[in-house]
A and B are shown apart, each in its own frame.
Chain A
Amino acid sequence: MPTFKKSIFAALLATTAATATHAADPVKIGVVTPLSGTYAGIGQQVRWGFDLATKQINASGGIMGRQIELLYEDEEANPSVAVQKAEKLFQVGKVDFLTGTVSSGSTLAVGQLAERAGKLIATTVSFADSITGDRCSPNVFRVNARAGQQSAALAVWLSKEKPKAQVFYLGPDYEMGRSTVAAFKSSAEKVGANTLGEVFAPLDSKDYTQYFGQIRASRPQVLYTSVAGNDTVRLFTQLQEFGLLNNMTVVGASGTVTSQNIGAIGKAAEGFVTGVGYSTEIPSPENKKFVEAFKTAYKADPDLYGTDSYGLIYAYKAAVEKAKSTETDKVRDALRGLKWATPQGEKTIRAGDHQAIQTMYVVRVANGEFKIIGQVSGDDAIGADTCTRF
């Protein structure tokens, strides 16, 4: 009899222990992001954004009582490396959710892997419209603004400031470069701008002077560019060296001039205008609190990538809490149509294509800092839902 009681007691203890450990099981989020290579600067902001959100959420109890655990892998801005690392995180790390891909190529590749693995991924950086457009996937979500939203905001500003502008386009020769140029071209032409010409330079071009002959010959008022990182430093300083900035306004994609390269570009960045999904100057109390927390933790201002990454963890938390589970199908349904608060205001994830809708801001560089000079509502900037897969 005592042995029977003992064994019942032991069984009860075992089950409570089992449920207790199950409740303490962390929610694992895999992060495949460039920690080295050309995009390492972006990867650093992404990491900071994720870490800060995770720290805050874990401190206030985690998601449904479970702590968040982030597992980092370096994708080196290379889609094939990203796929390998994502595979490792899915199979070995057994992550519930994956994020962090920066290059649009990586996001698309990892998205296909996620479909095979039955998991969800989200990008917080990739701009290419195709990710939530013609190459959309039921397992891929995007919380940052895509190229189409940025160019819509910028085009609205351009039509007011320089009606019927003469525009020349210079973009990097890959997915993001071509799609951003195409997106802005169509938005700009719709509001009356005239296209003088376009040229695409290989990534990591050292010398843009070979295109200056063409640019000079067409005499543009406005130059639109979507280069990024070191390429922007070289393009802008070379434009300045050769005197091309004197009579020309340069506008571009939001990733072109960021806190990582603005120091190196220096005076050549003055007057640059872009449409962007975030600015540290957004005058909301949530944003001020966020910027303070970010600066205290990392001694640097948050930029677009850090902020969007921060916002993603909160979106995932809201979705899991709504679905009361981390199961792929339930979280997918919860994410569709989700509205949640971010430093940039309230964002909504459109169910039709998994793209986040948000207010867009037009900013200009003045004295080495971005100043907000206008804003465009989420619905005006979002554009049509072109995803037909689901």
Chain B
Amino acid sequence: MLDYIQFVLAPQVVTGLAFGVAVILVALGLTIIFGLLDVINMSHGEFYAFGAFSALALNWLGLPFWLLLILVPLLMLPVGYFVERVLIQRVFNRPDRHVTTLLLTFGFGLVLEDAFRLGFGPNPYRPDTPIRGAVEFFGIFLPNYRLFLIVFGGFVIAGVALIVYRTRLGAMVRAAAFDRNMAASLGVPVAWVFAGAFAFGVSLAGLAGVLLAPVYSVFPTMGRDFILMAFTVVIVGGMGSIAGAVVAGLFLTQVQSIASLYISPVWTDPIVFGIMVVMLMVRPQGLFGRLGHA
């Protein structure tokens, strides 16, 4: 029994953790955008890919990986801001906002995907793993880079939570989410806050792209890998809730990880979606409700 825990269950939990951190990073951006802006961003996966491709291109120009970790998210801030102001604002102030933004972002995602294919070709690339080697603890074998992912990802998530819940900036964001007119009349620059939040969400996706590029490789359709999982996490955790994204992200990836030990891996995705369906029926606001409302 102990052998089983050590050699089969524990490694599965740990690799599930690395995947979970990655999913949370992508889902965090999505939940902020959904929770705050009420925008269903179907192009979020493509922004994740954008981060990975930018890292690839800058790496070819000679920039080291560690610089890219900071540079790419920073570069994506103006990109996200631009997209929000120019594209999303156009279709935002209408009663059928959900449909129009969904269509708009979906189309934009398709355009981005083909842009990657035109720019980089359809074949996969893989930047070299920046940290080689692996550690072994209690018989569990874990490559160093995945360990770094878990630790660094954890810090980023903690940082985001800190910004949102403990700073004035975060308070403005939450106020605008709760009641934009009231917040505006109290002096919160709502338009800036919205665009900034979108940019921040997109930049988080880009950071996830950079971090995961050595692990999952870079190719034009990579956005599709994560988008469904990210949406599931957002819905189960609560649209707009940071805590929800973290808890749901960890929970769902662990479910996937451990379930694949007992049943054919093909069934782990339906199980995760099944949880989402049950959540929608039983508690539609998710585990933790909306940003600003929690």
A residues at B contact (CB < 8 Å): 36-38, 40-41, 43-44, 173, 200-202, 204-207, 209-210, 212-213, 217, 229-230, 233-234, 237-238, 241-243, 260-261, 263-266
Bound CA span A200–B134, Å: 26
Query: Is there contact, CB below 8 Å, between A230 and B217?
Result: yes
**Complex interface: chain B residues within 8 A of A201 (CB):** 265
Question: Which residues of chain B from 193 to 217 have a CB within 8 Å of any chain A CB?
Answer: 214-217
Q: Taking the nearest CB of chain B, how far is it from the CB of A368, in angstroms?
A: 13
Bound CA span A217–B4, Å: 11
Bound CA span A209–B215, Å: 11
Most buried by B among A44, A212, A233, A265: A233
Closest to B226 in A: A206
Query: Is there contact, CB below 8 Å, between A230 and B260?
Result: no
Q: Taking the nearest CB of chain A, how far is it from the CB of B53, in angstroms?
A: 13
Which of B12, B129, B220, B260 is the one whose CB lies under 8 Å from A241?
Answer: B129
B residues at A contact (CB < 8 Å): 7-8, 11-12, 15, 19, 114, 117, 121-126, 128-129, 134, 141, 143, 145-146, 214-221, 225, 257, 260-261, 264-266, 269
Which of A36, A233, A242 is the one whose CB lies under 8 Å from B114?
Answer: A36
User: Given that A173-B266, A241-B145 are contacting pairs, would A230 and B124 also be in contact in the complex, using a CB cutoff of 8 Å?
Assistant: yes
Query: Is there contact, CB below 8 Å, between A213 and B123?
Result: no
Bound CA span A261–B123, Å: 6
Bound CA span A51–B134, Å: 47
**Complex interface: chain B residues within 8 A of A264 (CB):** 123-126, 217-218
User: Given that A210-B261, A242-B143 are contacting pairs, would A263 and B125 also be in contact in the complex, using a CB cutoff of 8 Å?
Assistant: yes
**Complex interface: chain A residues within 8 A of B264 (CB):** 173, 200
Bound CA span A204–B19, Å: 15
Bound CA span A241–B265, Å: 21
Bound CA span A40–B121, Å: 9
Bound CA span A209–B217, Å: 15
Query: Is there contact, CB below 8 Å, between B266 and A213?
Result: no
**Complex interface: chain B residues within 8 A of A44 (CB):** 122
User: Given that A263-B123, A265-B126, A266-B126 are contacting pairs, would A202 and B266 also be in contact in the complex, using a CB cutoff of 8 Å?
Assistant: yes
Query: Is there contact, CB below 8 Å, between B8 and A230?
Result: no
User: Given that A213-B7, A242-B134, A242-B141 are contacting pairs, would A261 and B124 also be in contact in the complex, using a CB cutoff of 8 Å?
Assistant: yes
**Complex interface: chain B residues within 8 A of A243 (CB):** 134, 141
Query: Is there contact, CB below 8 Å, between A234 and B114?
Result: no
Query: Is there contact, CB below 8 Å, between A210 and B265?
Result: yes
Which of A36, A213, A230 is the one whose CB lies under 8 Å from B219?
Answer: A230
Across the A-B interface, the 5 shortest Cβ-Cβ residue pairs: A40-B122, A264-B126, A241-B143, A260-B123, A264-B124
Query: Is there contact, CB below 8 Å, between B123 and A206?
Result: no
**Complex interface: chain B residues within 8 A of A266 (CB):** 126, 128
Bound CA span A229–B124, Å: 8
